[in-house]
Each structure stands twice: as C-alpha cells, then as structure tokens.
Amino acid sequence: SNALPGAAPTAPAAHVAGSSSDVVVVGGGVIGLSVAWRAAQRGRTVTVVDPAPGSGASHAAAGMLAPVSEVTYTEEPLLRLGLASLARWPAFAAELSAESGMDVDHRAEGTLDVAFGSDDLAALSEMAGFLEKLSLPVERLTGRECRRAEPMLAPSVRGGILAPGDAWVDPRRVTAALLAALSRRGARVLAGRVAGLLSEGGAVRGVRCADGAAIGAEQVVLAAGAWSGSLDGLPPEVLPPVRPVKGQIMRLRGAPGFLGRCVRGIVHGSRAYLVPRGDGEIVLGATQEEMGFDTRVTAGALWELLRDARELVPGITELEVVDLAAGLRPGTPDNLPVIGPSGMDGLLLATGHHRGGVLLSPLTADLVSGGPDPDLAPLAALCSPLRFAEAHR
Ligand code: FAD
C-alpha cells in the first residue's frame, strides 16, 4: 500500500554541478514540496534537493487536519495558524489533484474525541467550553450518541465531543502528488543531501551537496524537517532550533466504512487516535518520544498503540497489519513553526512544524511564496525565525 505512482524522476545532484535556479528548496517533505510547488506555479525556476523525497516525517504522518481537536489551552497561536491552514486545504487539495492527476484522499467528516472515565469526560467538557468561547464548531455527545455516530466504538465510551470541521488527507498521496505536479511544471527534484550553504558577503547564494555539486540560487528555502538544524556554514543564530520528536504509527487494512471519521481519546493517560482512509486503511497513532535521531520501530510502542486503540475500537484486533513506520517530527521550543526570512539575505526557513506539518503545509507555502498579503502579516509574525535570535545575543 506504500508504493504510489507519479513520483518525479530524480537525478543525482552531481549531474547538475554548476547549475542554478531562482529557488533551491532543501528537503522534499510535505513542507518543502508544497513551498516548491507554489513557487513553480508563480513562474520561478525551482530545484528541490533531497536524498529521498517524501521519506521523512511526512511518510509516517497520519494526515489529520485537526487544529480544533489538537488544541490545548496554552496554544492559541498554534490554533490560529491551524485554522488558517485548514481553510486553505479544500482548494489546495482540489488544485493539487487537478494538476497531478492524483487523488489525495481529502476528507472532512470531522473528529470524534471520546472519554471513558469521569475525569476525561470533565476535561472534554471543559475543552468544548473553550472552543465554544472561540466560536468554533463543536457538538457535545452522550455515549449513546457517540456509538450511533461510530458503531465500532467500545461500549464503555461515556461521552464525547465532535469537531465537525476537522479533516484529513493521506500524506503519502500528498507528497506523491506534489512530486508529480512539480514534474509537470518543469521543476527539478535532485537526489542529493545538502551538506552546507554557499554564502558570499553574508548572503546565501546557493547550496553545496555532499557529492560536491554546487547549485546557485537567488533564494534558498531550508525545509529539511528535523534535520534543519544541522547544516554547515550557518551562524548559530540563523540555524533553527529544531529537535527530532519521534513518532511511531501503524497501518491496518479495514473495510471501507469501518469508521466514518477520525476517532480519538485519552487511554492510559496518553492520546490515541484512529484515522480511516477512503480505501479502508485504518491508521493507529502515535507515540511521542524524545529519542534523538532514532527511527527504529520498537515492540513496546506497537504494543502500546494496539493496546490503546483496542480500548477505543475493540474490532481493530481482527484487521491485518499492513505497515509500521517511525518518523521524526521537527519540534521547536515553543511548538510553533519557524517560517520566513532567516535574518540572512537569500535564506528562508520553513521548518519546525512538529505535530502539524501536514495541516500547516498550504499556509506555509503561502507564507513563503506568497506576495505581501496583509491578512497573513499577523500569522507570519507568529512564525518568524527572528523570535529565537534574541537568545543568542
Ligand atoms: P519531513 O517530512 O521530515 O521532510 C524533511 C525532508 O528533508 C526529508 O525528506 C529528508 O530526507 C530531507 N533532508 C534532511 N536532511 C537533508 C539534507 N541535508 N539535504 C537535503 N534533504 C534533507 N502532522 C499533521 O499535520 N497531521 C498529523 O496527523 C500528523 N501525524 C503525525 C504522525 C507521526 C507518527 C509523525 C512522526 C508526524 C506526524 N505529523 C502530523 C507531523 C508531520 O509529519 C510533520 O510536521 C511534517 O511531515 C514535517 O514536514 P517536513 O517536510 O518539514 O519534514
């Protein structure tokens, strides 16, 4: 189920030594590819450099576009970014499907967050109140109403809240479609690892690949996910403070209609979720671990994922396991992404999307490639890379 058609052919970076383009994007995850696609649509010549596009966190991600059910009280800025990006998703998905000829399985049937114990129920009710105060759509459901909405739910579910506006996509289809759309627009996708940046008089002028290739650019966009903090040739105050936050996730083969919407809940003190795809696949997620650059799939994590998902939806134990994956989310100190001018001429950052990079990709592409849009200014300010520079002074 993982092989998707339509990926752009990649050439080794060494074959294009000495070349240049308007924009070079370092990293071909959902963020780098979205930025590259929007730049190519605006008529700029674009090169993406990545040893394995679409293989990073974007390959592991569940693809929930769920700013409302992901929100916590301390994260109102993140909620604003998420809502702005969620609003962009229907048009982004439609346009991407039209250009690539590929469906990205964009669905908008909402998220059902359920509770078992009275503490969890109280926490959900408080959350519903918080969302109502922000005039966000939310419905409170009894246990019976939850099960009527999702018959596969455990009988012990006591109640829940439905966020009807939440949506989801298949991130593997999204990166495959972005690669196909980039190829149709004539953008280059090179198989290479960027080792460092080329700079001249304090300005970034291109990238240097590990195989020695140099690619000149007017503008370099650093979108290397959890690896964005480890490039050579940048002063420390310019390098984004991202760290890898490991997530393990499992895919099962269900029948279409097994679940109608995303289902989540707090089980054994941790958040578990199930995401249904159009073809019947059910995604179980996800762990959150501070383990450095470790992408091993571990027995303990899989046990926890199954244990927690089974509490929510007991019938999953009948389903076939089709895929196990681990990915590294690019975490930042304040959980907000790092998007925009880096403080160094010629270098833009588009990273640090942590748990929400799929959700935030349309907004990120607009923030990086868009013209001066007054509506975007307050959102751009929230993501500014310069907020961390203070710490280095
Ligand atoms: P990545 O997808 O990691 O891409 C970075 C790319 O950079 C990689 O392809 C890598 O090969 C490349 N690269 C690295 N170093 C170099 C270099 N030196 N030169 C060139 N290329 C380089 N988000 C949501 O919105 N919804 C979800 O439901 C969701 N679920 C998730 C579940 C899990 C288990 C995980 C791990 C993440 C989840 N996320 C989710 C988060 C989301 O996956 C990330 O925020 C997003 O994928 C980040 O995209 P990215 O393009 O920045 O990074």
Per residue in 339-360, pLDDT (tens digit) is 999 999 999 999 999 999 999 9
For tokens 């002074």, the residue is: 393
Binned at pLDDT 50, 70 and 90, residue 112 comes out as very high
- Judge if the beta carbon of residue 63 lies within 6 A of ligand 1: yes
Nearest Cα residue to 80 out of 88, 94, 68 = 68
pLDDT of residue 246: 98
Q: What percent of the chain has pLDDT over 90?
A: 80
Q: Are 213 and 51 in contact (CB under 8 A)?
A: no
pLDDT band per the 50, 70, 90 thresholds, residue 232? confident
Kindly state if the Cβ of 228 falls inside 6 Å of ligand 1: no
- No. of H helices and E strands in the chain? 10, 19
CB 240 within 8 A of CB 222: yes
Tell me what the mean pLDDT of segment 66-72 comes to. Answer: 77
Closest CA to 369 of 35, 82, 92, 81: 35
Mean per-residue pLDDT, 72-81: 83
Atom 44, ligand 1: residue with shortest CA distance: 357
CB of 351 closer than 8 Å to CB of 222: yes
Pocket test for ligand 1, best of 30, 104, 166, 246 (most atoms within 8 A of CB): 30
Cβ-contact 283, 261 below 8 angstroms: no
C-alpha of residue 319 to centroid of ligand 1, in Å: 27
Cα of 357 vs centre of ligand 1, distance in Å, is: 7
Q: Which amino acid is at 281?
A: E
Whole-prediction pTM: 0.95
- On whether ipTM exceeds 0.90, the answer is yes
Q: Which residues pair with 331 in a beta bridge?
A: 243
| Residue 7 pLDDT greater than 70, yes or no | no
Minimum mean pLDDT range among 2-11, 245-254, 261-270: 2-11
Of all residues in the chain, the percent with pLDDT exceeding 70 is 93
Q: What is 337-389 written as a DSSP string? A: -EEEE-SSTTEEEEE--GGGHHHHHHHHHHHHHS---GGGHHHHHHH-GGGGG
> Model confidence at 165, in pLDDT bands (50, 70, 90)?
confident
Pairing of strands 167-168, 64-65: antiparallel
Return the ligand 1 atom nearest residue 327 CA.
Answer: 36
Question: How far is ligand 1, taken at its centre, from the CA of residue 246, in Å?
Answer: 11
Cα distance between residue 207 and residue 194, in whole Å: 7
Look at 67-71, 94-98, 238-242 and tell me which has the smallest mean pLDDT. 67-71
- Cα distance between the two ends of the chain: 49
The angle subtended at Cα 141 by Cα 139 and Cα 142, nearest 5°, is 165
3-state class of 67 per DSSP?
helix
Q: Alpha carbon 222 to chain centroid distance?
A: 16
29 lines ligand 1 (CB under 6 A): yes
Closest C-alpha residue for ligand 1 atom 33:
61
Identify the residue whose tokens are 């979108």.
223
